[in-house]
Amino acid sequence: MKHENLILFFGLMILSMFPLFAVDVSSDASIGVNIRYYDKRVYYIENDPIWVEVTIANNSVDTYRFKLADDRIFSVDFDVRTLSNRNIDLSERVIRKRTRNLPVFFREVSVAPGESFSFIENLRDYALLEQSGSYVVQAKLYPELLKNNSPSEAIVLSNRLSLSLRNQPLQGPDGIPLALDVETNAILVKERIPPDEVVEYLLNARQKSQWEKFFLYLDLEAMIMNDAGRRRLWLAESEEGRQRMLDRYRLDLQNAAIDGDFSTIPLEFTIERTSYGREEGNVTVLEKFRTGTYIESKRYTYHLRKRDDVWMIVDYTVLNLGTE
């Protein structure tokens, strides 16, 4: 009994040496925040979204309740650092919204024991990602909201993710980056031209076997995802595996090993109709091909989607019209 009292005495002495602080939820392993890439792929420094899924898991025996703001930037934050531990600046959107003196609307979320709650955020909405390189990403959950640009005492930290940002490459069908036009020696740049001019550019390049131009306005990832079989393989692959798939798909298109209707050289073509809205468009083209002693006619419809104000070809359909 004396031994137990001695242990209790020293325990009380140790506790009395520390001031009492509010409890930091991040120290409670029963409440966990996990982040993962929602559609992990190769990320470039262009403004493609980097979707991150945030999951709050309740591993305790009690219901966990927290406040979730309608605008998530008041409930969650992303700490992005270089490998040398340099902090990446906040995005202009975060700075603008968090410095405005406006009410924060929220709802209370209840997570039962053994259950979880998830939402998806675009990392680019939080961090100013403008340079290629390697980064470490960690999320912070503010259960009582981030108020007056200052977090509440309770913060739950997530796991860490590695992020690699690359410069957007211009690649040929053999996977070798192409930076110059072989005819003019000028740097190839995607221009903000209308959908019909995009299709005309592609077909002219195909007639001249200028592969660096042929692939310039093709969204190869979108075209891979249009096929159910290739889509399943794509979703199961790692980032490196997906890059290999892109390289192989590019090579197969050049060799007409797949999608032969798409990569066959047209003898001549006429753009018949163009229609487009703000984000999607269609271009119908009458194309003629020489088949032995016959001329075969086909009507193609190219489907385009706007990405970063540039129209990209994402799919096509073809209708055989017979020979002449």
Q: How far apart are CA 31 and CA 3, in angstroms?
A: 36
Q: How far apart are CA 192 and CA 189, in angstroms?
A: 10
Domain end call among 124, 151, 166: 166
Predicted confidence at residue 131, as pLDDT, reads 85
Q: Is 271 found in the same domain as 157? A: no
Phi, psi of 323 (to 5 degrees): -115, 165
Asked if residue 315 belongs to a domain, the reply is yes
Structural contact between residues 145 and 21, judged by C-beta atoms closer than 8 angstroms: no
Query: Which pTM does this prediction carry?
Result: 0.48
As to burial, measured by CB atoms within 10 angstroms (0-12 exposed, 13-18 middle, 19+ buried), residue 110 is exposed
Query: Which 3 state secondary structure label does DSSP give 180?
Result: strand
Element (H, E) at 312: strand 310-323
CATH at residue 50: 2.60.40.2360
Q: Is 27 found in the same domain as 155? A: yes
Structural contact between residues 124 and 81, judged by C-beta atoms closer than 8 angstroms: no
Give the number of domains in the chain: 2
Instruction: Quote the tokens at residue 260.
Output: 């032969």
Q: Is 139 found in the same domain as 237? A: no
Distances (CA, A) of 136 to 13, 16, 53: 40, 38, 16
Q: Which of 27, 24, 30 is nearest to 57 (CA)?
A: 30
Q: Quote the longest CA-to-CA distance of the chain.
A: 109
Asked if residue 277 belongs to a domain, the reply is yes
Domain range for residue 234?
195-323
Asked if residue 5 belongs to a domain, the reply is no
CATH at residue 309: 3.10.450.50
Predicted confidence at residue 10, as pLDDT, reads 37
Structural contact between residues 250 and 220, judged by C-beta atoms closer than 8 angstroms: yes
Predicted confidence at residue 303, as pLDDT, reads 95
Structural contact between residues 65 and 109, judged by C-beta atoms closer than 8 angstroms: yes
Q: What is the DSSP letter of 59?
A: -
Predicted confidence at residue 287, as pLDDT, reads 94
Asked if residue 181 belongs to a domain, the reply is no
Q: What is the DSSP letter of 22?
A: P
DSSP string, 97-150: HHTS-----EEEEEE-TT-EEEEEEEGGGTB---S-EEEEEEEEE-TT-EETTE
Instruction: Quote the tokens at residue 53.
Output: 């899924």
pLDDT tens string, the chain, 324 residues long: the values are 444 344 333 333 333 333 333 334 444 568 899 999 886 766 777 767 888 999 999 998 999 999 999 999 999 999 999 998 999 999 888 888 888 888 889 999 999 999 999 999 999 999 999 888 899 999 999 998 887 655 556 789 999 999 988 776 555 444 444 444 545 555 677 889 999 999 999 999 889 888 878 888 999 999 999 888 888 888 888 887 888 888 888 888 877 777 777 878 899 999 999 999 989 999 999 999 988 888 999 999 999 999 888 999 999 999 999 887
Q: Is 115 found in the same domain as 251? A: no
Residues near 105 by beta carbon (within 8 Å), at least 6 away in sequence = 69, 70, 71
Q: How far apart are CA 199 and CA 276, in angstroms?
A: 13
Asked if residue 190 belongs to a domain, the reply is no
Q: Is 145 found in the same domain as 265? A: no
Instruction: Quote the tokens at residue 115.
Output: 């259950």
Q: Is 31 found in the same domain as 162? A: yes
